[in-house]
Structure 1
Amino acid sequence: MNPHKVPFWLRWLLPVVLVITWLGIAGVGGPTFGRLDEVSSNDQASFLPAGAEATEAGDWQVKFRDSKEIPAVVILESDAALTPPQLGEAAKLKAGIQALRLGSAVVGPIPSQDGKAVQFIVPVSSSNELRTHVQELRDTVRSGVPGVHAFVTGPAGLTADLVNAFGGIDGILLLVALGAVFVILLLVYRSLVLPLAVLFTSMFALCAAILLVFGMAKMGWIQLNGQSQGILSILVIGAATDYALLFVARFREALTHTSNRTRAVVTAWKKSFEPILASGATVIVALLCLLFSDLNSNKALGPVAAAGILCALFAALTLLPALMALLGRAAFWPFRPKLLPDDEREPEIVTGLEGQKGLWRGVATLVSKRPRVVWVASTLILLVAATGVLQLKANGVPQTDVILSASDAVDGQKALARHFDAGSGSPAVVVASQSAAGQVLEKVKATQGVGDAYLLAEGSVPLPGAPGAPSEPAVRDGKVLINATLNSAADSVEAENTVKSLRSAVKVADPGALVGGVTAIALDTNTTAQHDLAVIIPIVLVVIFFILMLLLHSVVAPLLLVLSVVLSYAAAMGVSAWVFNGVFKFSGADATVPLFGFVFLVALGVDYNIFLMSRVREESLNHGTRPGILRGLAVTGGVITSAGVVLAATFAALGVIPIMFLVQLAFIVAFGVLLDTVLVRSLLVPALAYDIGARIWWPGKLARRPVPLAKGAEEERAVSRF
């Protein structure tokens, strides 16, 4: 082909303009990465829906205080009874804490009954400086009283440590993910240039996604938190790399048929556009289904992650083709693809394995010889693995178990439980009518698991520690507030059971009474998350099914693909449950883990089946269904497996952040993607499709045309004998 027949604007102008445009996006989006904290919140209460009882109670609680504050609990603990000089120093410490001006009045020191500890309740402003304020408080109390162990815990301390744990998102997470992708691409392509081009595509897509997400959060359209921020980075890098690998495979294939790099790019773009677009659309729509969630944290992740996939999609279809158009064969240096002689370019296809070699020819041969044995055995393996789901404990975990790294707040919570009512500093909050205040207070005090309770007095601090029951309670719009200190730690299962009992008890005296606080927030979060799981799963499956119907022009194939990824998801969750319980010894799993695992595994699992079946359909149109299945499996095996390994590696990088939820999600998605890539897409789906034959395309026209019109009955018989 004559390169001069390709217009200048297509050969040089358009690729250069696209690259410059993406450089501009990266130049603006890159610096924005460090500003995400400005629009991010890790307040657990903000995750709840407006209609949750804990949310309504929290709204009333705000009316009883002048500023937005959350309590920190300072614990001074000694191995023996505190001496009078130590108690004196503890009393002086109150002035030092108050001098920090972190919030309203400090309550304490409150001695423990065993005399070995004292505590202070320190209200801390819940601003963007919370982490700094907590660190200042820790520095002050550690040097305040000699010979004691000092801790800062409570909601403020735990939140600060949680924010510190998320600090790895900005640096280590990206380095680990990008490093893993780079190494895998080096091994796959044995090229120095191509991995860099793919990584640039992924990073520029992430910059665009950050810019888009920052803008949406700034305008108040979405709610961003550290959890969704970390998932965004991994998802964009993984998805952009996957789409890039599919395009690169088509580009390399095209370079064996033409010496013109621009024509090769155009051919690759046309061949990969539909599966990449369908894949991206499937993931985006599946993620947007999270908008049907009642839990705000789930609802927030939907548009955030969807925006990331959208940017990954555009980068793979614009920036990467532009880079390949400029680099040509040099992108694969030193192993550049060679132009095949004319007589080697189009082998006569009868069985589907002509011209194929290596591992994937062997896999395709196995599928063709024993299709039923292969798909039945694969299904049984997945069913056995899925039985582990029965051991999954996804009912939430104590907040002290969420942080997997060393935490002063976690240690302080343990010290608090040793010497005080474990719920000190994180009381249950009861909002009741003024007319029923006395009866409600009696019900609260009589509830098993409640250590102390009192009506909040006018002008006092809405925290535990005020002596006695005030005669003049604070009243706001006909409501009073009761603080109830629980015997159990606020983040424990026992505390949640106490809150359930409280809600039943207080409504006898006042049907409109509300119970909120830290424990109630956790309880309502778990309940809402389990409701979301039952609502979102059917919606996602129906949406994906219809997208696959449009892509494959079939009902049978989409139905089988959806069933296969659901089975793969169940197997991944089953194995994960065994690993979490038996290997990592986790106390449980966050209630949102099954839903997030489902959305990512089903959407991303369908991705690889889209890559496979779109190529199978293309080959089936030319060579017949069964040869098309074998040829599609053989030619896509390497690239899809590489894409699966890359995505698994990027999600595994989430494990560097010491947050139980992200570690669990990292394992579920990484293992699930590998399982889907190696077993489901390589064996189960092609073997089942091969066994069914042309009926896989029912009711489309391809189901009634098992072989191409250009081939005769003799060739069809050859295929059936194979």
Structure 2
Amino acid sequence: MAAQSPLPDTGRTARPHGRPAGPDRPGDAPPSGRRRLLPWAVILLWVALLAVAAPLGGQLSEVQSDDSVEYLPESAESTRVARLQQDLPGGGTTDLLVVHEREDGLTEEDRRIAEERVAGIADRWDAAGEPRGILSEDGTVLLHPLSLPAPGADGTENAAGTDNADDADGVVFEIREAASEDLPEGLTVLVGGPGAFGADAGEVFGSIDTTLLIATVAVVTLLLILIYRSPALWLLPLISVGAAAMLAMAVVYGLVRIFDLTVSTQNSSIMTVLVFGAGTDYALLLVARYRDELRRFAHPHNAMVAALRGVLPALLASSGTVAAGLLCLLAADLNSSSGLGPVGTAGILCALLAMITLLPALLLVTGRKVFWPMIPAPGTAPRGDRGLFARLGASVSHRPVAILVTGVVALGALALGTLNLPGPLRDADFFTTPPESTVAAETLGEAFPERSTRPITVLAPEDTAEGVLGTVSATDGVDSAEPGRSGAGWTEINVFATGAPESAEERDTVRALREDLADDAGGEPAALVGGPTAQAVDLDDTNARDRVIVIPLVLLAVLVILIALLRSVVAPLVLLAGVVLSWGSALGLGGLFFGPVFGFDGMDGWIPLLTFVFGVALGVDYGIFLMHRMREEALAGADTRTAALTALRATGGVIASAGIVLAATFSVLMTLPLVVMVELGFVVAVGVLLDTFVVRTYLVTSAAWLLRERMWWPGPLWRRPPAAPAPEGGHGPTGGTPEGPETTAGTPRTGAGAPDRA
């Protein structure tokens, strides 16, 4: 029997089993000399391209911005406050909390040492005002708030004699060293606050790129070796995806320079995972198709042409859905979400370009021998075992209703886990391993449960600052308020709430302040409310708004692409319903794991939206490969039930491998010390596995079995005369079985009576 390809066929006449491949076969003539040189020309072009891209991509880390403003909503009031603070005297400040503690109570000597040490720090780094100590009721903790000018704002140099303009984090680490030097035994000091939190985050972000790249390359390499079981073949996809990653970094660097695009470390890390995951998937699909074509063609060049013709429509649709989904993020108001749109799209398109140009060229110059020890020879039958997916297909044909209902109910039950998702992610819960700033926040929360230890920032016009201060002081939930810096037409008022930092009570105080300061006429408010807690409030509101806008856009964009590819409305709706259900189930599993298993006390509000975009755009890929192959089989004359089983059997192995690779690459995010990245990696990885092994294998196939020709409504396949139904065992009208292709020896798949291609 003719070898079945793991991807959609182009509709060509199948070679009858036993007919030798060779020059006598139409389309298998030896390639011309010019065609033989083309792969080398492509490789040389990529070498030249990377020679230019490598230096540019290497500079991407220099233009990444992890300033807190870049993670805030563009239009939010707290974002405006953060930007206006840059114009106040000293620019943006580095706000720190110096915490001295002794478990059995601070002694008079401890307090004297702490006061002297903090005074020295304040003098050395020009802190605003005189530092005032606040002693906890139990006498175990002494707190000193410090507000330092932005490093380098006045052109000064730090202790090392270097420019401080980009050294706010360095200042924090220097202060920690100075504060902890030669302390008496039992007396500890912690430096926390927003400035210290930013320094700790910056230290983590600084190591993410290298750690993530090494882990991703290691995972992809291991999986490729296991999949191909060849000492050399795995290297070609790895080289190609590495080239794609370097090109993507250069493209993003260019976007930053040309369009002033803001790129965060989180977004560049996600792009790296996307390039390696999606790029490796594309490579697996192309190599699998090429391997099959090598058994049909004597000349590798002809086999590659046939392979590219077969996979290109599906690869274009696959990358198109991901790119379209990511570009929908441009409609998000959250800076970190909208910035990911063009960054991720650049990565996906570079991955596609490498896999349809560089990888084919590398495969051609290495020839058949690169598949050693399982070299595909012309005229031989495929070695891969597709019996598993044939048996799965047979089970669907025997009990389609039971399988569909059971699958939907099971995934729906898992989706109920979303009711157990943790609340908003606090700064104190941002890291998987608490750094010093987080430990300091926890210590202060226990020592001062009756009040906030970090201010809510209110910016008032200078001419009305006194009246605003009175309004603020009288607002419910405010413990105290005092004016701070003035300049550029604004006065900064530091407001301390009675509620604990990041608590629901403090959030209510932020909302109360905004309500009391709002202009009844609907114009500009009397003052602006910002600070960390106000930012958290705005993030929650913006994430909710972005979900309402972006999710429908993603669904619409993906639906349009699927309709254009499949010439149907019902089939795309089935695919979308499946991936949305798998996303809900994966997020529900997050609710069952984040708190009870991982011990996370919060979930970033960014997670539902981002996992939806990835879950739908990436998950629908596997449905595309299955459904596209199903449509090709139907166009060749098979009824929909037979086409569904044939498509499942033919695409099963390679798509299962692709799903495992993509899930594994996103799982690499779970090795990073950031809760948000662990949560993102978990949900996307689980969602991809559910799409691969549950939705595609069972739900889509059983839905196609039950809907039959209605699956293609209102396209040409729906309007054709009904085909003879396939029996439950999966035998089609052309005599195929679950164990073999749907053609008999010598019978073309596009024989008489086959419909014209739509």
Determine if the TM-score, normalized by the shorter chain, exceeds 0.5.
yes
Q: Flag the 1:256–1:78 CA change in 2: closer, same or farther, 3 A.
A: same
Match of 1:282 in 2: 321
Match of 1:121 in 2: 146
Name whichever of 382-391 and 50-59 sits farther off: 50-59
1:488–1:681: structure 2 CA closer, same or farther, 3 Å change rule?
same
TM-score by length of 2: 0.85
Task: State whether structure 2 residue 526 is matched by structure 1 residue 498.
Answer: no
What residue number does 1:349 align with? none
Say which is worse superposed, 153-162 or 108-117, in terms of deviation: 108-117
Q: Measure how far apart 1:573 and its partner are.
A: 1.1
Aligned: 1:20 with 2:44: yes
Matched, 1:445 2:456: no
* 1:567 alignment partner AA: L
Task: Check if 1:178 corresponds to 2:217.
Answer: yes
After TM superposition, the structure 1 = structure 2 runs for residues 129-528 of structure 1, keeping only pairs within 5 Å, are: 129-143=167-181, 145-147=183-185, 148-340=187-379, 357-393=386-422, 395-420=423-448, 426-434=454-462, 436-456=464-484, 462=485, 474=486, 476-477=488-489, 479-507=490-518, 511-528=525-542
**Is contact 1:222-1:304 (8 Å) kept?**
no
Query: Which residue of the other structure, out of 589, 604, 623, is the alignment partner of 1:575?
Result: 589
* SS of corresponding position for 2:594: helix
Structure 2 Cα separation of the partners of residues 111 and 145 of structure 1: 19
Deviations 1:61-95 (A, max 9, x none): 33332323321222222234444444443343246
Aligned to 2:673, what secondary structure does the other structure show? coil
- Compared with structure 1, are the counterparts of its residues 284 and 107 closer, same or farther at alpha carbon in structure 2 (3 Å cutoff)? farther
Contact 1:421 1:486 in 2 (8 A): no
Summarize deviations over 1:412-458 as a string: whole Å, max 9, x none: 112233445787663111223456544432332233432321123xx
2:133 to 110, 124, 149: 110
Distance in 1 between the 2:698 and 2:128 partners? 66
Letter in 2 for 1:482: I
Distance (Å, rounded) in 2 between the aligned partners of 1:443 and 1:565: 51
- Measured in 2, the distance between the counterparts of 1:234 and 1:422 equals 44
> Within 2, Cα distance between the matches of 1:427 and 1:559?
50
Shift of 1:258: 1.2
1:348-374 Cα deviation digits (max 9, x unpaired): xxxxxxx98421111121222222222
Q: Indicate if the aligned counterparts of 2:444 and 2:453 stay in contact, CA closer than 8 A.
A: no
> Once the 2 structures are TM-superposed, how far is the Cα of residue 321 of structure 1 from its aligned partner?
0.6
- For residue 67 of structure 1, give the secondary structure of its aligned residue in structure 2: coil
- Does the CA contact (< 8 Å) of 1:29 and 1:207 recur in 2? yes
2-structure distance, mates of 1:571, 1:212: 35
CA contact (8 A) 1:44 1:521 kept: no
Indicate which of 635, 657, 661 corresponds to 1:646.
661
| Residues 372-419 of structure 1, C-alpha deviations (whole Å, 9 max, x = no match) | 2222221121111112222224x5211010111130101111223344
Structure 1 residue 671 displacement after superposition = 0.6
Give the partner amino acid of 1:661: V
Q: CA deviation at 1:180?
A: 1.7
CA contact (8 A) 1:168 1:656 kept: no
Asked if 1 retains the 8 angstrom alpha-carbon contact of 2:224 and 2:234, the reply is: yes
Which SS does the other structure have where 1:454 is aligned? strand
Cα pair distance change 1:649/1:561, threshold 3 Å? same
Q: Is the 8 A contact 1:34 1:170 kept in 2?
A: no
2: distance between equivalents of 1:331 and 1:224? 39
Separation (CA, whole Å) in 2 of partners of 1:20 and 1:716: 49
Count of residue correspondences:
688
1:232-285: CA deviation from partner (whole Å, max 9, x where unpaired) = 111110000011111011101101101211111111111111100110011001
> Does the Cα contact within 8 Å between 1:93 and 1:144 map onto a contact in 2?
no
Q: Which string of whole-angstrom CA distances, capped at 9 and with x for unpartnered residues, describes residues 644-691 of structure 1? A: 000000000001111111000110001110011000011110111122
Which stretch of the first structure deviates more once superposed, 594-603 or 49-58?
49-58
Given the alignment of the two structures, is residue 703 of structure 1 paired with residue 732 of structure 2, yes or no? no
Match of 2:30 in 1: 5
SS of residue in 1 equivalent to 2:595? helix
SS at match of 2:96: strand
CA–CA separation in structure 2 for the residues paired with 1:107 and 1:36: 41
User: How has the CA–CA distance of structure 1 residues 96 and 481 changed in structure 2, closer, same or farther, with 3 Å as cutoff?
Assistant: closer
Cα distance in 2, alignment partners of residues 701 and 615 from structure 1: 16
For 1:492-548, what per-residue CA distance to the aligned partner results, in whole angstroms no more than 9, with x for missing partners?
333222211222233379943221111111110111011101111111101100100
Structure 1 residues 542-551 or 32-41, which shifts more? Answer: 32-41
Partner SS for 1:194: coil
Looking at structure 2, the residues matched to 433 and 120 of structure 1 have their Cα atoms a distance apart, in angstroms, of 25
- C-alpha separation between the residues in 1 aligned to 2:400 and 2:542? 43
Structure 1: segments with no counterpart, 5+ residues: 346-354, 457-461, 463-473
Indicate the larger mover: 299-308 or 124-133.
124-133
Between the aligned partners of 2:322 and 2:633, the Cα distance in structure 1 is: 25
Q: Per-residue deviation at 1:561?
A: 0.9
Determine helix, strand or coil for the equivalent of 2:559: helix
Distance 1:206 1:266 in 2: 25
Closer, same or farther: CA 610–18 of 1 in aligned 2, 3 Å: same
Amino acid at match of 2:526: G
Change (3 A) 1:720 1:581: same
CA distance in 1, matches of 2:567, 2:29: 39
- Distance, in Å, in 1 between the alignment partners of 2:670 and 2:482 is 44
| Alpha-carbon shift at residue 163 of structure 1 (Å) | 1.9
Does the alignment pair 1:622 with 2:627?
no
Aligned residue for 1:466? none
Query: Bigger shift: 399-408 or 643-652?
Result: 399-408
Q: Percent identity?
A: 38
Q: Which amino acid aligns with 1:110?
A: G
Match of 1:459 in 2: none
Counterpart in 1 of 2:705? 690
CA distance in 2, matches of 1:508, 1:543: 40
Secondary structure of the residue aligned to 1:171 is helix
Equivalent position of 2:555 in the other structure = 541
Assess, with a 3 A threshold, how the Cα gap between structure 1 residues 515 and 144 changes in structure 2: closer, same or farther: farther
Give the whole-Å Cα distance in 2 for the aligned partners of 1:692 and 1:720: 21
Does the C-alpha gap of structure 1 residues 619 and 481 become closer, same or farther in structure 2, counting only changes over 3 Å?
Answer: same
3-state SS, counterpart of residue 588 of structure 2: helix
Q: Specify the code of the residue in structure 1 equivalent to 2:294.
A: L
Report the alpha carbon displacement of residue 329 of structure 1 after superposing the two structures with TM: 1.5
Q: Distance in 1 between matches of 2:515 and 2:298?
A: 77
What is the aligned partner in structure 1 of residue 68 from structure 2?
Answer: 44
